[in-house]
């Protein structure tokens, strides 16, 4: 069935270190993989996304990599800052129902200063 | 430009009561969604509407009904609330959905926190 697994569930890093969050998906036909950041009590907001025709995308300190063979994609945050502390949600599109998005369970990232 | 607006922001219900969550978007988006968010479970899709006039079940539709009133509005109804429906509900919209375009960027509302006693 449609499934997205996200690891780790919590991640603590020191300010300035890098953070990596990984998601795996079940549908080999999935073609769109967004990452959302959700601050405490706020709505999720898109921070970066990648489509299946590329393997990597960068936006300043944030990058996403995609391995279609292994069916996993990862979020990389470099030079972490306290304001990066939030819940990060990955998602993948599934063919059933017109490419709706299915989300992972989320990762709580804490950046310690 | 308000984006996605959902009401109410907070609601407390007793078991068995009914209520409707309202959602409206002003971005001329075609697709609209209702998700629920529970601790440790990410966002789970309840129902969605790929375009005006259509609605489909998501991952967790039991106990809910939806209405796509027009292109702008998509409501979620709980006919007989249960404590298991205590959650934060998010409405979202996207420009379109479809195999050719792939899934598109979701814009979320601010969320509605529902407590069922």
Min CA distance, A25 vs chain B (Å)? 15
**Per-residue pLDDT, A52:** 83
Query: Residue B102 pLDDT more than 50?
Result: no
Chain-chain contact of A97 with B50 (C-beta, under 8 angstroms):
yes
Cα–Cα distance for residue pair B13/A74, rounded to 1 Å: 40
Residue B114 structure tokens: 């529902």
**Per-residue pLDDT, B104:** 73
Q: Which of A100, A102, A108 is most worth mutating to test chain B (most B CB atoms within 10 A of its CB)?
A: A100
Query: Residue B100 pLDDT more than 80?
Result: no
Query: Which chain A residues touch B48 with a CB distance below 8 Å?
Result: 97, 100
Instruction: Tokens 């969605």: give the residue.
Output: B48
Q: How open is the CA angle A18-A23-A28, to the nearest 5 degrees?
A: 140
Chain-chain contact of A98 with B97 (C-beta, under 8 angstroms):
yes
Chain-chain contact of A99 with B99 (C-beta, under 8 angstroms):
yes
A97 touches chain B (CB under 8 A): yes
Query: Which chain B residues touch A103 with a CB distance below 8 Å?
Result: 35, 42-44
Instruction: Tokens 């030079």: give the residue.
Output: A79
Higher pLDDT, B30 or A80: A80
Sheet architecture: strand order including A62-67: A4-7, A19-25, A72-77, A62-67, A56-59
Instruction: Tokens 């063979």: give the residue.
Output: A69
A29 touches chain B (CB under 8 A): no
**Per-residue pLDDT, A97:** 58
**Per-residue pLDDT, B1:** 67
The DSSP string of B37-81 is: E-TTS-EEEEEEESSTT--EE-S--TTEEEEE-SSSBEEEEESS-
Chain-chain contact of A100 with B42 (C-beta, under 8 angstroms):
no
pLDDT in tens, chain A (113 residues): 688 999 999 999 999 999 999 999 998 888 889 999 999 999 999 999 998 888 999 999 999 999 999 999 999 999 999 999 999 999 998 776 566 889 999 999 999 99
A48 touches chain B (CB under 8 A): no
- Quick count: other Cβ atoms within 10 Å of Cβ A51? 14
Chain-chain contact of B106 with A95 (C-beta, under 8 angstroms):
no
* Cβ contact B48:B35 at 8 Å: no
Cα–Cα distance for residue pair A25/B59, rounded to 1 Å: 15
Query: Which chain B residues touch A88 with a CB distance below 8 Å?
Result: none
Q: How far is CA B48 from CA A9, A71, A99, A108, B74, in A?
A: 27, 25, 11, 27, 9
**Per-residue pLDDT, B2:** 81
Query: Which chain B residues touch A9 with a CB distance below 8 Å?
Result: 40
DSSP helix/strand/coil, A107: strand
Cα–Cα distance for residue pair B81/B44, rounded to 1 Å: 18
């Amino acid at each position: 069935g449609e499934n997205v697994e996200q690891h780790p569930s919590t991640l603590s890093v020191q300010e300035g270190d890098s953070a990596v969050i990984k998601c795996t998906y079940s549908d080999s036909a999935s073609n769109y993989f967004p990452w959302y950041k959700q601050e405490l009590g706020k709505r999720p907001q898109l921070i970066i996304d990648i489509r299946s025709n590329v393997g990597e995308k960068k936006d300043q300190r944030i990058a996403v990599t995609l391995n279609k063979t292994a069916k996993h994609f990862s979020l990389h945050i470099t030079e972490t800052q306290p304001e990066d502390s939030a819940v990060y949600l990955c998602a993948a599109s599934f063919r059933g129902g017109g490419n709706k998005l299915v989300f992972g369970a989320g990762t709580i990232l804490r950046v310690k200063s | 430009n308000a984006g996605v607006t959902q009401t109410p922001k907070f609601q407390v219900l007793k078991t068995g009561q009914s209520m409707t969550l309202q959602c409206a978007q002003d971005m001329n988006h075609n697709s609209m969604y209702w998700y629920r968010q529970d601790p440790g479970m990410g966002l789970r899709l309840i129902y969605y509407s790929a375009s005006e006039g259509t609605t489909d079940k998501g991952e967790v539709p039991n106990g809910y009904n939806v209405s796509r009133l027009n292109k702008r509005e998509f409501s979620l109804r709980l006919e007989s609330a249960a404590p298991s429906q205590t959650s934060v509900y998010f409405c979202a919209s996207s420009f379109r959905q479809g195999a050719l375009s792939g899934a598109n960027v979701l814009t979320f509302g601010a969320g509605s926190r529902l407590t069922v006693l």
